[in-house]
Structure 1
Amino acid sequence: MIAADTEASVTALYCRLSQDDKQEGDSNSIFNQKRILKQYAVEHGFQNYLYFIDDGYSGTNFRRPGFEKMIAGVKDGSIRRIIVKDMSRLGRDYLQVGMYTEILFPDHDIHFIAINDAVDSDKGENELTPFRNVFNEWYARDTSKKIRAVKKAKGLAGEHMTSNVPYGYRKDPDNPKHWLIDEEAAEVVREIFQLCVEGNGPARIAKMLAERKILCPTHYMITKGMKPISHLPTSPYGWSSTVVVNILERRDYLGETVNFKTHIKSYKNRKKVNNPQEEWKIFRDTQEPIIDEETFSIVQKIRKGRRRPTRMGKMPILSGMLYCADCGSRMFLQRRVSDSIGQYNFVCGRYRQGPGNCTMHYIRYAVVEKIVLENLREVVSYVSSYEDEFTKMIMDEDYKEKHRDIEQKNRRLEEIQNRYRELDQLFQRVYEDNVHRKLSDERFMKLTKGYDVEQASLQEEETVLSAGLKEESRQAVNVERFLHIVRKYTEIPELTPEILHEFIDRIIVHEADKSSGKRLQEIEIIYNHIGSFDKSNITLWRGKAVQP
């Protein structure tokens, strides 16, 4: 039995418009919906009406502010009637729509009307309503599929898939798809990376920025007239370790665009899921870089081998860089509050878990620090004096042949990427023709299927080529990068975190050999970009380098 209207009863006039509905013209506009709903309410004597509006919300999403406010009114009894232009305005998920129209509304004696679909709950059930709900959901599914296809095309073409610009950049006024450096914020980004290179962790960096009263990214965006994209901290200087980590790990600062890092589960479930890194698409030189590649690489290495500070304070710079030669585990730094740095020592991490797992591989921290500094000075001096000889020593004899092969593969890779972009543009054109009804759905599906097949073939070839190029070009590129680092230094007075991480990837520690009557211990210093070579393999006796 439907309850009678009272003076306090509200007639809810519900309007919804998604971004996709806007492409269909003015018929579904909020203005037009309000006009139709008001006219119907007045003509039928429903005077106490109130608008509930959701502009820019998908019909598959039922977490809309206007809708939720209206449903709260249904549950507290203040709303007596709901009127919508048609069933699709209520939603495009037939199960959810059915739950409201067939269970919740009847339970609360709601008079429900969908004008254009001739639905009026006071006049009994409309047998076509469930079918309309199914068709509305099919429409949402088809629209979602087309939108994903266009986004995929844009992503594969190297366009930014986000409308939110990262902290440190701003949109180009002449081309919103292009990012320009925001120097004020970029300086903070550079400082964050430098602080990390110097051995500061994210929590410490966040504390330092807050103490200096530097605006956090969300509050900074507000001062620049931009809409914040995340939760707004209470304090304008509310930096957190999470924000710092996001900045330190963001490849956009290299001048790259990284697409397809996440995907949503379905058009109904908008939850984001991380994609494996091999599925990412990375495009270089899409904007001016804020951070150079060496600094970014150093920071990622530091992050990978990060160690939490203990109650003894900051960890020494070599912590996390030593590895056991036999089991491959990271060496554990042993120290006590009462110890001087000369008493610190490393042992194999697996041995420390149980002596049966590996052997000790004991080595003193001070010895490693001294030997690394001496070796660095020797290598930098040698490379600076004999650059050509060093280059020949590192590179393979068949380098020239490899170089020619690399050039051929690079040319083919460029051809593939150009064709990919052509197909993306073709796809976008036929999609637009389909949206504007210049091309039938059948013809659209036939054309796009052919494009998909060709793109899949190109993608497979690109994957094989890229993997081969990555391996073949490694030595040629790495030697030049190592030389670039060496040229920055005329001398190395001390071992700093920046110098250490810029030059050295890791240090391999072998078990001591006492077979000769002496305790000889070998360590390998693995340099960034070139690995180990004769001068980086060192034998120690009594804490000094000796000839084996």
Structure 2
Amino acid sequence: MKITKIPSRRPETIIRKKVAAYARVSTASDAQLHSLGAQIDFYKKQIMSRPDWEFAGVFIDDGVTGTKSKREGLDELLTACRDGKIDLIITKSISRFARNTVNLLNIVRDLKESKIAVYFEREKINTLNAEGELLLTLLASFAQEESRSASNNMKWSIRKGYAEGSLKQVRRCYGYLVELGEVTIVPEEAKVVKEVFERYELGELPSSIAKDLNRRKIYTFQGAKWSVNRLNVLTANIFYTGNTLLQKLFVPNHLDKKQIKNRGELPQYFIENSHEPIISMELFEAVREVKAKRTYKKRPDTKHAFSGKLICGVCGANLNRKYDRGNHKWQCRTYRKSGVAACPSKQVPENTLEVSAAEALGLPSFDEMNFLEKIDEVIVHNGNKLIFRFKDGSKKDIYWEDRSRSESWTKEMRAAAGRKTKERYGN
């Protein structure tokens, strides 16, 4: 029996990849543009010479740098990728494609999700293979370090400006125009600012003032209507007295960029006579006193002067009052709710807070009214440290000592312990 193999005559189907190239030069000089033209010719010939590749174009940017976010050629390339017109991108090097590792990482990851590879010729890296995975890992690390370094440089520059009394970081506020640290009064708005302070001093309620301003079609510089909260913020801003308190906010984490209130973690800078005032310091203090008295009158008898004033220096939560074996103590809300794992803060006896407050205010004993009028908040840090933040922007650190066990016992506690001892031994 004879068997003859008949070879397949059906031509093999070649699945061709749609390949595009990206080229860029950073200046528009004749020499550079000649180089760009050479790159275009080179890539066109290279792509068209391969039977398994389909020419999808050469996308170019001339006279721009890799650090610039607006590059029309690259944008057109990415649009074509999203439209399914490209399977592979070839480019000379990582630096030609992008010099900002954050942007590069984002682009490469987006393309990878669509199964689109980028091949960097100089580095010989294809982003869809194993080397590409390593590249992404390295780029992620570089991107985070670059972001941290840039953030630290920015923080250093800003804080240096604060220490030198620069107002470049001061934001526009109603009544003033602030441009590159130059502060100028806006006359029409300044009249309203002064009117608001004077009406506060006379005892008019902020709800009434806000209603009147809105009726007169006088709005904030953003065009928003006035509210009680907006007026309270305005009348608490010492900037209107011609003085400036710097570094009231800061960004602790360079990744999420979230600003938080500076509660003593960083130094603040109070600059006197930094710009032309709209109101006098006397009027500002008078309004502060009116607001403090109004707050005191509204406070229920069951609410203590420390309520809402004590801030945990560990997690930033408020401290709550509790009664424990004859003594009142103040304890972090987070600690009380979730335990030491959530916040390893320390509780503070109420009488310790009162003695420390009196010392901070320069008084022989604790005065509740004085405390409410002058103290904005108290930061309770571990290490027995209390930071008293005054409403004028100043602060004072007070350290307290733990009482011995015998000193902390009240008469009631001693009596209760005596009764338990008698019950235990039957006497």
More helix by share: 1
Q: Which has the larger radius of gyration?
A: 2
Query: Higher relative contact order at CA 8 Å, sep ≥6: structure 1 or structure 2?
Result: 1
